[in-house]
Chain A
Amino acid sequence: MIQLPKDILGLKELSAEQIQHILDTAVVCKDIFKRDLKKIPTLRGKTVVTLFFEPSTRTRTSFEIAGKWMSADVVNLTVSSSSVAKGESFVDTGRTLEAMGVDVIIIRHSLAGTPKLLADTVSAHVINAGDGAHEHPTQGLLDLYTIREKMGRIAGLKVAIVGDILHSRVAKSNIYGLLKMGAEVTVVGPPTLMPRGIEQLGVRVEHSLDAVLNQVDVVNILRIQLERQQRGYFPTKKEYSKLFGVNMERLSKAGNDVLIMHPGPANLGVEIAEEVSVHPQSVITEQVTNGVAVRMALLYLLTGGGSKDEILH
């Protein structure tokens, strides 16, 4: 019997069995996409709140769709329209939501550790939708799901994560998840965007994309966070693109089976060329679809617990 923890704060805290169980559950949830009537009554009477302190379109929408397809009531709170702007403390906001009977709180915050603080305060389930440079577990799960679906397995695959590893919570969640599922991970990027000591997690560090491209099965390209580039982590976008951008020329060297991934939104022409983003080897839109399936699975498993195979006549 596999049970999930109360909260999903990061993939670091999940076991390989728990991750597997979430992915297996998401396979069933993804079938809902094929239906004309995309609604199941499973979470009727449950309330899900998305509490976003950072802008997001796809993650918030993805959670909202996941909840609504399962018949939960989904309430979206954005900071500018909430009491947080009036000075209500963050923990108070959590308590207030709980007093309103909320079952699941999905939180995104620019400070790492905020979801943990909330999870320790409220008895509602908390899902981390991205906290600072810490983790983005649902993105990690949907990336694992996509790799497993496309390649048939995760164990034994060689995966390159390319770009701004330093600021990327997507990279962290991917590293934890991929290593637990038995993949080999290489992180690639300029030294200025590589966190010191990252190899201690069990990954290989490379500074040349061309040196690894023909050795990997999957290339997960991170978004260059242009808003963070005022501090001069690299000289120009053009130079970054020249050294680390995945264009058609690089794709052709990488081999015909390489899976191209990007968590979005992409800076087309910087870290990924537009032709690559829409290439048949790119699974970027599949990732978005799988994001809904994985989030449905998490909502289902969290609000009920873990798993038990029992029969009802």
Chain B
Amino acid sequence: MLDVIKAQVMDEDNIRRALYRLSHEITERNKGTSDLVLIGIRTRGVPLANRLAAFIKQHEGVEIPVGMLDITFYRDDLSLISPQPVLHRTEIPFNITNQKIVLVDDVLFTGRTVRAALGALMDLGRPSQIQLAVLIDRGHRELPIRADYVGKNLPTSRKEIVHVRLAEIDGEDRVVITETENESD
């Protein structure tokens, strides 16, 4: 899948610095860590949420709860795709009602994943706020959704695919772009 890499846009250090900055932006905007929780969208939002929590612990000295969210049940394209996606578990072992949630994902593209995630979270409780943190914002939104914290803005064409590779899952930290014949969606 990664044999025709068009460009590498972030390396290990770039990713670390971007997340470090985001961790500060999050605590600055929320004036600390009270009622703050991080929820990573499966799959790659989860290690990113864990890393943000580790940075926050470093500079605030507070361990904030981290959950993981699988959005498959809430996708808007289930009737369009066949076969259906594999389900993974949602693991949010704390009550999200009246919490300030920072939703974490690797790439923000059409906005449909985030829309699904918002639906999933609303069914789990009534958070006081939901904010969005992404490592890459690649544009091409199809819904009125924007990120509150962005690691890197990356202008792309729809034919390109952005791959965020993370050590926890892929054995390496980098962000690369590949290209397909078809327009991705």
> Are A310 and B89 in contact, with the CB atoms below 8 A?
no
Interface status of B119 (Cβ within 8 A of chain A): yes
CA A31 to CA B123, docked complex, whole Å? 13
Q: Name the B residues within 8 Å of A226 (CB-CB).
A: none
Nearest-neighbour CB distance to chain A for B142, whole angstroms, equals 11
- The proximity string for B residues 67-98 relative to A, scoring 1 for CB distances below 8 Å and 0 otherwise, is 00010111101110111111111100000000
Chain A residues, CB < 8 A from B73: 40-42, 70
Asked whether, in the complex, the Cβ of A37 is within 8 Å of the Cβ of B88, the reply is no
Pick the contact of A305: B43, B83, B89, B112 (CB < 8 A). B83
**The one of A36, A41, A308 that contacts B86, using a Cβ cutoff of 8 Å:** A308
Q: Given A27-B89, A35-B124, do A45 and B84 touch, yes or no (CB 8 Å)?
A: no
| Number of residues on chain B facing chain A (CB within 8 A) | 33
The distance in angstroms between the C-alpha atoms of A124 and B162, with both chains bound, is 38
Complex Cα distance A45/B77, Å?
13
Quick one: which of B72, B87, B89, B108 contacts A313, CB cutoff 8 A?
Answer: B108
- A307: chain B residues at CB < 8 Å are 83-86
Kindly state the separation between the CA atoms of A70 and B84 in the bound complex, as whole angstroms: 15
Contact A41 B74 (CB under 8 A): yes
Q: Which residue of A lies closest to B123 (CB)?
A: A37
In the complex, A28 has a CB within 8 A of chain B:
yes
A20 at the interface (CB under 8 A from B): no
B residues in contact with A300, CB < 8 Å: 84, 87
Interchain CA distance A40-B108 in the complex, whole Å: 24
Interface string of A218-255 (1 = CB under 8 A from B): 00000000000000000000000000000000000000
Chain B residues contacting A301 (CB-CB under 8 Å) are 84
Q: Is the CB of A305 within 8 A of B123?
A: no
| 26 contacting pairs across A/B (C-beta < 8 A) | A3-B83, A35-B123, A35-B124, A36-B125, A37-B124, A40-B73, A41-B73, A42-B72, A42-B73, A42-B78, A70-B73, A300-B84, A304-B79, A304-B81, A304-B82, A305-B84, A307-B83, A308-B83, A308-B84, A308-B86, A309-B85, A309-B86, A310-B85, A311-B43, A312-B112, A313-B110
A interface, CB within 8 angstroms of B: 1, 3, 24-25, 27-29, 31, 35-37, 39-42, 45, 70, 300-301, 303-313
Q: Which 9 A-B pairs have the closest CB atoms?
A: A304-B84, A305-B83, A313-B109, A306-B83, A305-B82, A28-B87, A40-B73, A42-B73, A313-B107
